[in-house]
């Protein structure tokens, strides 16, 4: 699996993840280190995936970390630990989604840290949407369109444009081939562009 | 806002949650791979036997009769083994796709590999002659295997159309005629006059031998043979003997 970048920081991060896993297996309290590292990321990811309220996000996050701990021996280092933990979070979120539909809300909290704006900028440029069209609308408009895509497109677009994962990481998280990731991203972008240009929003 | 870390660690402690042992994941992974290999193996055996049965039936039959009937083609098709092959290939594909790294490959490629490997190994089984051995072993040890899965039964159990097969019970040779008592594949007894029959291949006309007979029905339980052939024998062997 190719590395996204090969900076020293990233390599150290990978080694630290493996080390944290070893420590957590030896001592349950050390699992707190993994929670510290991934709580914010996974919380944000689950919220973007499901667009549900904080309470539901926290419940799913707790279930996710329990599942991570229970299945810690499954991780074998063949791919990034972050991909593995994201996979568990994704599966938990999708299971909940299948059981009951949440009233989809646009979460505006992310505007506070500016991440949603960069998401809109990245996807706008990739789908070749005119800058004027974006600038006229709220970022919420783009996110609303994203929320109304089929789940399979939303999964890959969230991972690529919100979580900034590369194709191999997305493939490992969703357990699909890199080729399928590429196809879904392309089709998802096209669908998104159609939705945005249809002026439904 | 909940303190997730505190809640999770507390729950782990209170409920005494432990990580599942590594061997469980290794066992699951190995099991999936073994099932995939079994799928390929069964598919290969299935394809080898398909080739053997189809050739033994269709090619040999046409060489003998000089006719290529649609009915013969249909009867020659080992339907059940084809179903076994399809099911096995699917099982192999499904388990390969769900193996540790299987998801990284396109489904169409994994399916193609399952099909190609099964067919190639099946062909090897066929040309090595092992499919003949397997087919006989199944016939000997599995009840009703021959009647249900061996299309030769359907093709050679048509005395009214001139195709009879069965086990020789007794030979009756005198100065005027040569006859044998035969129990056909359905269990019915026939008196077969083979005075004017040509005997093909390595046929042993002895009690207990199973033979195929081409000829015509004379009466309710009398058959006149024009050709007697061994029950076992592929097209190549037959061509050498003609």
* Tens-digit pLDDT profile for residues A159-193: 998 899 999 999 999 999 999 999 999 999 999 88
Residue A180 to chain B, least CA–CA distance (Å): 7
Selection from A184, A179, A172 nearest residue A88 by Cα: A172
Structure tokens at A157: 């677009």
Of residues B147 and B113, more confidence is placed in B113
Give the position of tokens 């914010």.
A40
- Say whether residue B11 is in contact with chain A using an 8 A CB cutoff: yes
Whether pTM > 0.80 for this model: the answer is: no
Two tokens, residue B116 = 């190609």
Helices (H), B98-156: 107-127, 130-141, 145-149, 151-156
Strand partners, B192: B180, B223
Query: What are the DSSP E strand ranges found in chain B?
Result: 163-173, 178-184, 189-193, 198-199, 210-219, 222-230
Other Cβ atoms within 10 Å of A16 Cβ, number:
13
Alpha-carbon span A62 to A64, nearest angstrom: 5
B196 closest CA partner among B227, B236, B218, B237: B227
Q: Pick the residue with more confidence: B37 or A1?
A: B37
User: How many CB atoms are located within 10 Å of the residue B113 CB?
Assistant: 15
Question: What is the rounded distance in angstroms from the CA atom of residue B42 to the CA atom of residue B150?
Answer: 17
Q: pLDDT band for position A107 (50/70/90)? A: very low
Tens of pLDDT, residues B123-178: 999 999 999 889 888 878 888 787 777 777 878 888 998 999 999 999 888 778 88
How many angstroms away from the CA of A71 is the closest CA of chain B? 6
DSSP B21: P
* Distance of alpha carbon A175 from alpha carbon A81, whole angstroms: 14
Provide the pLDDT confidence category of residue A109 given band limits of 50, 70 and 90: very low
**pLDDT at residue A110 greater than cutoff 60:** no
Q: What is the DSSP string of A93-133?
A: HHHHHHH-PPPP----GGGGTTHHHHHHHHHHHHTT--HHH
The nearest CA of chain B is from the CA of A161 a distance in Å of 21
**A8, pLDDT greater than 60:** no
Q: Number of H helices and number of E strands within chain B?
A: 10, 6
Query: Quick check: B97 contacting A, CB < 8 Å?
Result: no
Q: Does A58 sit within 8 Å of B9, measured CB to CB?
A: no
Distance CA B62, CA B159 (A): 17
Mean pLDDT of B101-124: 95
Query: Stretch B22-38: mean pLDDT, rounded?
Result: 96
Q: Which of A28, A76, A175 sits opposite B12 (nearest CB)?
A: A28
pLDDT at position B121: 97
Whether residue B101 and residue A78 make contact (CB cut-off 8 A), yes or no, is yes
User: Which pLDDT does position A199 carry in this prediction?
Assistant: 61
Average pLDDT over residues B63-72: 59
Across the interface, which of A25, A69, A74 has its CB nearest the CB of B12?
Answer: A69
Instruction: Work out the average pLDDT over A85-94.
Output: 94
* Eight-state DSSP code of residue A77: S
Answer positive or negative: Cα dihedral of A114, A119, A122, A127: negative
Kindly tell me if the per-residue pLDDT of A2 is higher than 50. Answer: no
| Per-residue pLDDT, B60 | 61
Q: Where is average pLDDT lowest: A117-131, B40-54, B179-193?
A: A117-131
| pLDDT value, residue B242 | 30
Q: Which residues of B touch A180 (CB under 8 A)?
A: 106
| Neighbouring residues of B42: CB distance < 8 A, sequence distance ≥ 6 | B84, B88, B91
Average pLDDT, chain A: 80
Residue B207 token pair: 């009690």
Q: Which residue, B6, B4, B1, is CA-closest to A54? A: B1
CA distance A120 to chain B (A): 28
Per-residue confidence at B64, pLDDT binned at 50, 70, 90?
A: low
**In A, what residues contact B, Cβ < 8 A?**
25, 28-29, 31-32, 35-36, 39, 43, 54, 58, 61-62, 65-66, 69-74, 76, 78, 171, 175-180
Token pair of A23, please? 């420590």
Residue A125: φ, ψ to 5°: -70, -35
- Residue A142 or residue A79, greater confidence: A79
- Residues, chain A: 201
């Amino acid at each position: 699996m190719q590395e996204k970048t090969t900076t020293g920081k990233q390599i150290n991060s990978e080694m630290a993840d493996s080390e944290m896993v070893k420590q957590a297996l030896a001592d349950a309290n050390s699992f707190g280190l993994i929670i510290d590292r991934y709580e914010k990321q996974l919380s944000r990811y689950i919220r973007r995936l499901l667009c549900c309220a904080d309470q539901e996000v926290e419940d799913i996050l707790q279930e996710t970390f329990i599942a991570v701990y229970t299945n810690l021996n499954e991780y074998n280092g063949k791919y990034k630990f972050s991909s593995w933990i994201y996979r568990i979070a994704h599966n938990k979120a999708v299971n909940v989604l299948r059981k009951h539909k949440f009233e989809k809300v646009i979460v505006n909290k992310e505007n506070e840290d500016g991440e949603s704006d960069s998401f809109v900028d990245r996807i706008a440029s990739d789908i070749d949407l005119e800058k004027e069209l974006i600038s006229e609308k709220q970022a919420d408009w783009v996110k609303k369109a994203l929320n109304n895509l089929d789940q399979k497109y939303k999964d890959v677009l969230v991972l690529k444009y919100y979580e900034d994962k590369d194709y191999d990481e997305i493939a490992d998280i969703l357990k699909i081939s890199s080729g399928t990731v590429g196809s879904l991203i392309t089709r998802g972008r096209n669908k998104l562009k159609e939705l945005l240009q249809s002026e439904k929003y | 806002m909940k303190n997730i870390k505190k809640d999770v660690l507390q729950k782990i402690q209170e409920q005494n949650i432990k990580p599942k042992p590594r061997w469980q994941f290794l066992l699951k992974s190995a099991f999936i791979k073994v099932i995939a290999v079994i799928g390929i193996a069964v598919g290969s055996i299935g394809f080898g036997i398909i080739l053997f049965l189809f050739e033994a039936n269709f090619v040999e039959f046409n060489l003998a009769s000089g006719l290529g009937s649609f009915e013969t083609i249909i009867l020659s098709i080992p339907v059940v083994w084809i179903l076994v092959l399809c099911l096995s290939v699917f099982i192999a594909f499904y388990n390969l796709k769900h193996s540790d790294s299987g998801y990284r490959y396109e489904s169409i490629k994994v399916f193609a590999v399952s099909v190609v490997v099964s067919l190639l190994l099946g062909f090897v089984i066929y040309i090595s002659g092992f499919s003949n051995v397997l087919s006989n072993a199944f016939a000997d040890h599995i009840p009703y295997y021959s009647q249900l899965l061996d299309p030769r039964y359907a093709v050679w159990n048509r005395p009214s159309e001139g195709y009879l097969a069965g086990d020789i019970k007794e030979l009756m040779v005198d100065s005027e005629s040569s006859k044998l008592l035969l129990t056909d594949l359905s269990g019915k007894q026939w008196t077969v006059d083979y005075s004017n029959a040509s005997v093909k291949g390595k046929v042993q006309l002895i009690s207990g031998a199973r033979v195929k007979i081409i000829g015509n029905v004379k009466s309710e339980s009398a058959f006149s043979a024009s050709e007697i052939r061994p029950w076992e024998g592929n097209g190549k062997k037959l061509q050498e003997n003609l």
